[in-house]
Amino acid sequence: MTDLSVQRTDMRMGSLLALGLLYIAFRLGSAAARLATNPYWAGCLAAPNNPAWRLPQMISDDMASRINAQINRELFSAYFYLGLSAQAESSNLKGTAAWFMAKHGEEMTHALKMYRYLLDQDAIVALDPVEAPPAKTAGITDMFERTLSHERAVTQAINDLVDHAAQEKDHATHIFLQWFVTEQIEEEATVNDILGRLRLFGDQGQGLLMIDNELAGAAKRVAAAAPATEV
Ligand code: OFO
């Protein structure tokens, strides 16, 4: 190859390289222009810490606020059972106290399941004050009657949440809530059964002793079955 043809080849290579670089610069420039004119990314770049630029969460604000309200109800349930456990223990009903304490633990796991769900959906967890539970009850039958009406109210609240998730076509929340629907069926049935036994055997003397013993055994089963919620 002559010196001249080597020179021509070098010039062609140089021009190709320059064209390539020009093309890359052009693509980068138009990408930057698109970024700067996109309101979302422009906002992120201008004020990266502004919460308005958070990526949209996966569930609606309304759904998140309803789940937050349910977290509060679950925490109240835990508080409610803790109060009943203390009252039962003060009345020397150790088995009943253990049962309510196990329910307290269960309700905490329910609240934490919802807490975890909101965080996994990139939604805000907003914790509100928890109402105080009843300070005084009129004995074991009253405790379980209050428990049944409390659980019925919780079932209604869960059903409302399910209806709302269906209305919003929020399939993820709808599926998530199915566990709670099943749980409420089981809880109401258990309390109904305890109340039935209290009515059958009485809530005094031997009958009371027998039920208190049964509840001690049931408390161990509830505690053993309680799923550990990873937070
Ligand atoms: Fe959370 O299960 Fe009843 O209240």
What pTM was computed for the model? 0.76
Q: What's the pLDDT score for residue 156?
A: 98
CA of 101 to the centre of ligand 1 (A): 13
The number of the ligand 1 atom at minimal distance from the alpha carbon of 73 is 4
Pocket perturbation via mutation, ligand 1, pick of 75, 100, 184, 222 by most ligand atoms within 8 A of CB: 184
Q: What's the pLDDT score for residue 198?
A: 96
Q: What's the pLDDT score for residue 66?
A: 98
Mean pLDDT, 10 residues at a time, over the chain (231 residues)? 68 76 74 66 65 72 98 98 97 98 98 98 97 94 98 98 98 98 98 97 94 96 75 70
CA of 154 to the centre of ligand 1 (A): 6
Q: What's the pLDDT score for residue 21?
A: 77
Q: What's the pLDDT score for residue 23?
A: 76
CA gap 97, 215 in Å, rounded: 9
Give every CB contact of residue 179 below 8 A, 6+ residues apart in sequence.
113
Please give all residues whose beta carbon lies within 6 A of any atom in ligand 1, as ranges.
Answer: 74, 77, 107, 110, 151, 154, 183-184, 187
CA of 57 to the centre of ligand 1 (A): 27
Q: What's the pLDDT score for residue 43?
A: 64
Q: What's the pLDDT score for residue 230?
A: 66
By three-state DSSP, how is residue 142 classified? helix
The number of the ligand 1 atom at minimal distance from the alpha carbon of 150 is 4
CA of 15 to the centre of ligand 1 (A): 74
